[in-house]
Amino acid sequence: MKNNVLYILTAFLLPGYSVAAQATATDYEKKIDSLFAEYKHTPGAAVAVVKNGKVVFKKGYGMANLEYEVPITPQTKFHIASVSKQFTAFSVYLLKKQGKISLEDDIRKYIPELPVYNKTIRVKHLLGHTSGLRDQWAILTLAGWQMEDVISTEHILKLAARQKALNFEPGTRFGYCNTGYTLLAEAVSRISGQSFAAFTAANIFQPLGMANTVFYDDLHTVLKNRAHSYELGKSGYIERKLNYSNTGATSLTTTVEDLAKWVNNFKRPVVGDEELLQDFNAASLLDNGDPVTWAARPGDTIYHAKGQLLLQHKGVKRISHGGHDAGFRSALLRFPDSDLAVITLSNNEHYSVPSKTEPIADMYLGDEIRETVGTAASTAPAAPAEKTVPYTNTLTDFEGAYYSHELATTYHVKVKGDQLWLTHYRLSDMELKATAKDSFSGINSFAFQMVFTREGQRVVGFEISNFGAKNVAFKKQMPAPGP
């Protein structure tokens, strides 16, 4: 009875307090709790909802550290992977506002050790993923690196400087490229004369009061309240190590509380101004003036805007991006016309972002949802099946050692039984599957395809491609001459 009286008095005496609003908030909390009910003594997630400039919900689910049974809270720090990119892009726009960089600048103006290509790679190409550069994770993997290795900005810059070819002509199409954002962060550092972590701290995080946010550029740094990342193995959860010391494309460590301050800056700017924010949120453009499109989905096209994706969510404008490194999965969704943001940060490899974030958004959007995007199968005619062309491969033709100057690494091709294998001293042996004459596919960290090249009948090399690096050339090493 006492609690009921207090509730009634509070409802009538406190300005702006609404019994209906309180009931709605409680109902929303129960619904969000049910979405995350699976996370208890497991890796989980932190959640925050920002509406009309206020954090209307924040909570943690599951464990930040399984060894010490540390629970996740809204103050838990997470590595947010590619959600970092919008902060890198924003840093470039801050320097642009100061007249210290132009989006039309050749990136070699700031990083001259990069190769000279047939067409200039400009700052705007890096921002819009239209540079044609090979992706850093793609080339590191092909060079024999593993994602749990210590990977620094210096390593990435040195490898990027060796790439003599591009995936495509700059400015002509979209190709997601982490390398571009590492280069942008390095450019900001060189222009400002300070580390990228120091620049963003002074120019973004401190002014916004984001006290628990840092670009993590040294893997030896101790960070309190940091989540570890995990993946479910055969006998339970295993830890996924992350040893990055590189920034720009990734490596921002932050909390849902701090990200709430970041999203509020778009409506109530403290850092930057209205003109800067408008330009920053606009779709990137190809050199021909067309908007950069990420992909199409039923009823919608996704546009890219400087580390952000522009799309419609059930008829409501949405600006968002996700991230995934090791077992970390992050999502930041903004609905600018509704003054709403949904933020979830997870340390669980198996966390399903859309199944968690979109129901939360739907609850708070309510009647603002104007339409439902159809999910029916496309009625477009199916592409004709490719004709199978008979081919034969004499496997012993391909045996030998192959070296790539661009990757500074050697692969060996060997026949074992009736199968061809690709070996590297730092990687597990990879079985090659024939797909056509002189063509094979395989998997190391990522799926790859390789096509052997010939001079006459003699195999002299191969070109290998994966998700972010196309036609990296390897030359067959001739046997050493006899005595």
Helix 19-35 × helix 353-365 angle, to 10°: 170
SS3 label, residue 267: helix
pLDDT of 417 reads: 92
Burial class from Cβ neighbours inside 10 Å (0-12, 13-18, 19+) for residue 309 reads: middle
pLDDT at 384: 63
Domains of the chain: 1-30 (no CATH), 78-132+167-368 (3.40.710.10), 395-476 (2.40.128.50)
Predicted local distance difference test score (pLDDT) of residue 377? 41
Give the pLDDT score at 385. Answer: 60
Burial class (CB within 10 angstroms; exposed 0-12, middle 13-18, buried 19+) of 232: middle
281-313 per-position pLDDT tens digit: 999 999 999 999 987 666 678 999 999 999 999
Q: Is the dihedral of CA 133, 134, 137, 143 positive or negative?
A: negative
C-alpha dist (Å) from residue 266 to 32, 93, 259, 271, 317: 25, 14, 12, 9, 14
Exposure string over 80-99, b if 16+ CB within 10 A, otherwise e: bbbbbbbbbbbbbbbbbeee
How close are the terminal C-alpha atoms of the chain, in Å? 101
pLDDT at position 381: 57
Taking a C-beta distance cutoff of 8 angstroms, is the pair 164, 148 a contact?
A: no
Tell me how far apart the 2 most distant CA atoms of the chain are, in Å: 101
Tokens for 193, please give them: 């004369």
- What is the pLDDT at residue 118? 95
Phi, psi of 446 (to 5 degrees): -130, 155
Residue spans of beta strands (DSSP E) within 326-418: 328-335, 340-346, 400-404, 409-416
3-state secondary structure of 347: coil
Return averaged pLDDT per consecutive 10 residues of the chain, 483 residues in all: 38 43 79 96 98 97 97 98 98 98 98 97 98 98 94 97 98 98 98 98 98 97 96 94 96 98 97 97 97 78 95 94 97 97 98 96 93 47 61 92 97 95 95 96 92 96 97 88 46
pLDDT score for 392: 84
> Alpha-carbon distance 178 to 170, whole Å?
15
| pTM for the model | 0.91
